[in-house]
């Protein structure tokens, strides 16, 4: 078996060989702990029949661990300078395909259709660039891709927000959006000391298992998320004030909003972070009948 990429010595060798310098703008922090990488792969529960989508492979440290266990790995890398390095470090793995593209602009379904043909079990496994974590996760979920789920490393603070429950300071529109589509759990925290260069924050690994159908039934998904975002517009404001301020025509529909809240036994003085996803679903469904007429 090849020498692991993710040891401090081998990583430094590779970086030195190619004269690679880190780009802060791309959020590049490379993991130098093989045990942590193996645990990340364990959490993804891969088999020899699994296809993996990776985002930001860097110099291939996680990619090689994935390639050893999965049927095929397709990795998106935005930094052109890393392509020759990946070609070198992953040369002995014929089941890896690197795509030089920004994943946020990619047609991922098209890539699945062409690169993971006939593979029924697909997982996303990645050490995500911290500056675009949320847009990437949301794109993977809203594109309705045929994936089983994701195991991704991200900033611990974001992981806390994703898996947060109602009534906590971390609970917000991100928690609701991701829990609507998936079962979210933080499976591991990762100290900043196991990266080159060291980031300013600690990291965490979250596992998102895609639900067969969303957690709650909503009349209109876009409006549901609009209501959720509106409710957290200003965290110190009450649910009534936030809905009035942040929904279109909200102020002129104050009476109707108050009526809906009363019907649902939701105290208008409550704050958004105290409402459960079920309560948000009921609220958006009732409000939709009013707002759809006014649109």
Name the residue ranges covered by the structural domains of the chain.
Answer: 8-210, 221-294
Burial class (CB in 10 A: 0-12, 13-18, 19+), 289: exposed
Residue 220 marked in a binding site: no
221-294: what CATH class? Answer: mainly alpha
pLDDT of residue 200: 87
Query: Candidates 3.30.360.10, 3.40.50.150, 3.20.20.80, 3.30.420.40; correct CATH number of 8-210?
Result: 3.40.50.150
Residues 6+ apart with CB under 8 A from 216: 180, 277, 278, 280, 281
Residue 31 is labelled as binding a ligand: yes
88-128: pLDDT as tens digits? 999 999 999 999 999 999 999 999 999 999 999 999 999 99
Q: Each residue of 38-89: pLDDT tens digit?
A: 999 999 999 999 999 999 999 999 999 999 999 999 999 999 999 999 999 9
Model pLDDT, residue 108: 97
107 marked ligand binding residue: no
CA distance 257 to 264: 11
Same fold across 8-210 and 221-294: no
Q: How, if at all, do strands 149-155 and 121-127 pair?
A: parallel
Annotated binding residue at 279?
no
Pick from 29, 94, 92: nearest CA to 56: 29
Residue 27 clears pLDDT 80, i.e. is over it: no
Burial zone of 64 (CB within 10 Å; 0-12 exposed, 13-18 middle, 19+ buried): buried
The pLDDT tens digits of the residues spanning 28-39 come to 789 999 999 999
């Amino acid at each position: 078996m090849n020498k692991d990429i993710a040891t401090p010595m081998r990583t430094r060798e590779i970086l030195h060989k190619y004269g690679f310098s880190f780009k802060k703008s791309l959020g590049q922090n490379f993991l130098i702990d093989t045990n942590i990488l193996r645990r990340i792969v364990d959490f993804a529960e891969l088999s020899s029949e699994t296809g993996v989508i990776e985002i930001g492979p860097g110099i291939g440290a996680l990619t090689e661990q994935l390639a050893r266990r999965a049927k095929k790995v397709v990795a998106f890398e935005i930094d052109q300078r890393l392509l020759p390095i990946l070609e070198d470090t992953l040369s002995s793995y014929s089941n890896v395909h690197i795509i030089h593209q920004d994943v946020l602009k990619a047609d991922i379904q098209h890539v699945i259709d062409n690169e993971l043909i006939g593979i029924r079990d697909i997982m996303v496994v990645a050490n995500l660039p911290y500056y675009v974590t949320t847009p990437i996760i949301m794109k993977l979920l809203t594109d309705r891709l045929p994936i089983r789920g994701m195991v991704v490393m991200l900033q611990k603070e974001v992981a806390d927000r994703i898996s947060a429950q109602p009534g906590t300071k971390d609970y917000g529109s991100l928690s609701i959006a991701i829990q609507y589509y998936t079962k979210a759990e933080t499976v591991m925290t990762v100290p900043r000391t196991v990266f080159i260069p060291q980031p300013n924050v600690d990291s965490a690994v979250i596992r998102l298992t895609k639900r067969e159908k969303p957690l709650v039934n909503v009349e209109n998904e876009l409006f549901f998320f609009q209501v959720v975002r509106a409710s957290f517009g200003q965290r110190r404001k009450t649910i009534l004030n936030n809905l009035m301020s942040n929904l279109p025509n909200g102020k002129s529909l104050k009476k109707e909003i108050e009526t809906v809240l009363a019907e649902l036994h939701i105290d208008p003085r409550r704050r958004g972070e105290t409402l459960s996803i079920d309560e948000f679903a009921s609220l958006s469904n009732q409000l939709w009948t009013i707002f759809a007429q006014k649109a």
